[in-house]
Amino acid sequence: MGYLFEDTAADFGVASPEADYNEEIYAPVQLSNTTKRITKPVDLAQEQVDYYSMSGKLNREKEDYERKRQADLLQIDKMQDEAYDRQIEMRAKAAQWNDKVKAQEHGSAVSGALTSLDPTDPEYQSKVDSLISQYPLAPFDAKIKSVLDSKKALFDSVKTERDKVRDAAIARSNSDYNAQRQLEVNKLTTDYSNEVKTRDDVSKMSKEARSAFNESMSADGSNIYEARGAANDVASTEVTFKDYDTALERVNDLGRTIKAYRTEKDKLATNLAADPATVEKLSAAYDADIEAMQKEMRSKQLRFIDPYEKKKGGDTQERPEPSSSAKPSRMSVKSLLPGSK
């Protein structure tokens, strides 16, 4: 069907299948002058009869009259249209004049108040709008428009500078606020990290230190730093097995040294019987060293050994025992203290 339609279009002079077939195919056929003159003799005779007959003449006169009548009507319509257009133009000019007069009246009404307005006032525009709302045609007055334009330019310039100052202040405020917020966030982060570390450290302390920490945290107005201080105070008075073991080993060493010093002192009287002055001098030196060692032993006893041994009667989970390979010998400390036999 497509090729058939295309062939038919080509017969009517259509250039391509994409052309508008309806426009080309259904357009009225325009006959040439030669074609028009090719008429039948009968038709030619009838035309002559129609032209020269009375009815043909009347028809031609009627057609001429109708054409003249239509031309006259068109002329009358044109004259009426022109008259109407002139009336419209006159009314438009009258309305323009009326608006101009009204604008001058409104301009005169606001002239004094408008002149007194300060364009640097932040409320200038709102005051102008209030005036114009009462006299809406005032801006159409040339003089008032000139005043409004000049003052508006000054107001816009001042407003631009004022907005710059405001924006700068807002930017500084935002910067200060953000800096403050960052400090607060940093402090909260630090406090949280410290709290996590503190609780982890306290969890490794003794039961007594943990109890002191929890009691302090439950007290009104307390904080984690005060609670950590309370736990540290308890922990500082506690003795670990390492402290006890080191102190006990030191005490035993000192005891053995004191015993050796006393043995040497006892030998002095025999070895140096002929020199009493030297015996007295060396004995005094031995006594001074022994006294110093006994003071250190007493300090270790009071600070580490007695508290740890006292704690043995408590929770055995909190008291580590020395290993069998490193267990020190238990020498009697009291027998080595001043005044003991």
Distance of CA 283 to the CA centre of its chain: 85
Sequence-distant (≥ 6) Cβ neighbours of residue 109 within 8 angstroms: 134, 135, 138
Comparison of pLDDT for 71 and 269, the residue scoring more: 71
pLDDT of residue 20: 55
Q: Is the pLDDT of residue 153 over 50?
A: yes
Q: What are 301-308's contacts with CB under 8 Å, separation 24+?
A: 301/247, 301/251, 301/333, 303/239, 303/247, 304/239, 304/243, 304/244, 304/246, 304/247, 304/248, 305/244, 305/247, 305/248, 305/251, 305/333, 307/237, 307/238, 307/239, 308/239, 308/241, 308/243, 308/244
Residue 34 is predicted with a pLDDT of 61
What percent of the chain has a predicted confidence (pLDDT) above 70? 79
Predicted confidence at residue 25, as pLDDT, reads 56
* pLDDT, mean of residues 266-289: 80
User: Does residue 300 carry a pLDDT above 60?
Assistant: yes
The residue that leads in pLDDT, 41 or 209, is 209
Ranked by mean pLDDT, the top range of 28-37, 89-98, 281-290 is 281-290
pLDDT of residue 261: 87
Instruction: Quote the mean pLDDT of the chain.
Output: 75
pLDDT for position 21: 53
Percent of the chain with pLDDT over 90: 1
> pLDDT tens digits, residue range 308-318?
787 765 333 34
139 Cβ contact partners less than 8 Å away, ≥ 6 residues apart: 132, 145, 148
Instruction: Look at 144-148, 155-159, 180-184 and tell me which has the smallest mean pLDDT.
Output: 180-184
Q: What is the mean pLDDT of residues 92-104?
A: 78
pLDDT of residue 16: 55
Report pLDDT for 195: 78
Q: Which residue has the higher pLDDT, 170 or 96?
A: 170
* pTM (2 d.p.): 0.32
The pLDDT of residue 120: 85
